[in-house]
Amino acid sequence: MSQTDTKTIPVWDIFIRVFHWTLVLGVSTAAVSGFLLRPTWISLHVWAGTSAAVLLLARLLWGIWGSKNARFAGFIKGPREVIKHLKELRAGTAARHLGHNPLGALMIVALLGTVFLLLLTGATALGGVFKTGPLGFLFSYDLGTTILRVHYVLAIILVLLVTLHILGAVFEGMRTKENLVKAMITGKKEARESDHDLPEVSSRPLWVTLVFGATLALLVWGGIWFSAKPPFGVPTGPMNPTYAEECSACHIAYAPSLLPAKNWGTLMSQLDNHFGEDASLDQKSVDEITTWLFANAADSVDTKPAHVFSRTNPTYPVAITETPFWKNTHRTIPDAVFTRAPIYDNGNCNACHKDAESGAFYPANISIPKETPQ
């Protein structure tokens, strides 16, 4: 053992390294799309989260049956060990841990735990607020918005934890005079005499692959099955034929969930001056349409549009485009965009929201069309 050239030993196996850097990619994509990009990027955000969920599942299994430095049972230490490590750090006597040191192990648990909670709250918020994904059948809008705030706080916590994790790696690298980023790429560290190492175990990659494949298949199947269930608090009945015939002769068939019943009543009693035009109808059709609108109005629907448009503008109680939410969410779009072909008017929701007539208004379905010659 008295060789002059340094001997390197494998520390991080290929799984751990690939997991680490793909999780970096997934979390970065989720963070950028969640914090910085417009809501129309929600699909990218959801896919980044879904990828992180798959990675996390694999990491949990590798933490049980993986190599010695990957196993939770090996590197997670109790408070006594952590305090001992801290004291040795202060005294300058702490020896190097080839794998995670007791303090670093705490960080791994915190990072993985926070990512796990982000996935749970993300899927819950997606279900409650947008009535989509595997939990769309289960949760109310009110619960969804509350959980969305928790999701946001957790995301900030994760950013802080990642920052601390990087600072910790820089500190430990300087203390032990090694490049820890490089070690997470090559997987190798220089062997030293006083190193703390863990007892050898044999990893079970085939078994982990089998359990991972089975669990993933079950989760995907369950996800598809639950996603297909009718969304919570959203009527799925057909559109009234008289409403479709009469009202969509001039404009899109606005979803009845976009206004409260009271406001629909006001609108239906003023058809002779309907947004500056005469849209009079025979009384029988008016009664039939009003009854159907009342039964499917915002008051009885749990979608996000039904909730946000229920705060109407007292000056224009029948105009969705005059509600505070509409004005706020469309404030960055120049007026000229709304008047150009093929949009013509801000009441033509369908021109940009491909799912407007369903009343869903999912952000990923927004696409502002290019101007067309009139």
Residues 6+ apart with CB under 8 A from 145: 125, 128, 129
Decide: 328 and 279 in contact? Cβ < 8 Å: no
- Least separation in angstroms between residue 338's CB and another protein is 10
Contact with another protein (CB under 8 A) among 261, 279, 319, 366: 279
Contact with another protein (CB under 8 A) among 351, 356, 360, 361: 351
**R_g of the chain computed on alpha carbons:** 29
For residue 251, state whether it binds another protein (rule: CB under 8 A).
Answer: yes
Q: Quick check: helix, strand or coil at residue 188?
A: strand
For residue 344, state whether it binds another protein (rule: CB under 8 A).
Answer: yes
For residue 272, state whether it binds another protein (rule: CB under 8 A).
Answer: yes
Question: Phi then psi for 122, rounded to 5 degrees?
Answer: -65, -50
For residue 199, state whether it binds another protein (rule: CB under 8 A).
Answer: no
For residue 204, state whether it binds another protein (rule: CB under 8 A).
Answer: no
For residue 336, state whether it binds another protein (rule: CB under 8 A).
Answer: no
CA distances from 144 to 135, 305, 361 (A): 10, 14, 16
Q: Which stretch binds another protein (CB under 8 A): 156-164, 166-174, 277-285, 297-305?
A: 277-285
Helical H segments across 9-140, by residue range: 14-31, 42-65, 72-75, 79-91, 102-130
Write the DSSP string, 299-330.
Answer: GG--SHHHHHTTS-BTTBTT-GGGSHHHHHHT
Q: Which residues pair with 316 in a beta bridge?
A: 313
- Least separation in angstroms between residue 317's CB and another protein is 19
For residue 354, state whether it binds another protein (rule: CB under 8 A).
Answer: no
- Least separation in angstroms between residue 296's CB and another protein is 21
Q: Which stretch binds another protein (CB under 8 A): 17-25, 50-58, 152-160, 340-348?
A: 340-348
For residue 1, state whether it binds another protein (rule: CB under 8 A).
Answer: no
End-to-end Cα distance, the chain: 84
Q: Which CB sits closer to another protein, 75 or 361?
A: 361
Contact with another protein (CB under 8 A) among 308, 343, 356, 360: 343
For residue 333, state whether it binds another protein (rule: CB under 8 A).
Answer: no
Binding site for another protein (CB under 8 A): 248-252, 272-273, 275-281, 342-345, 347-348, 351
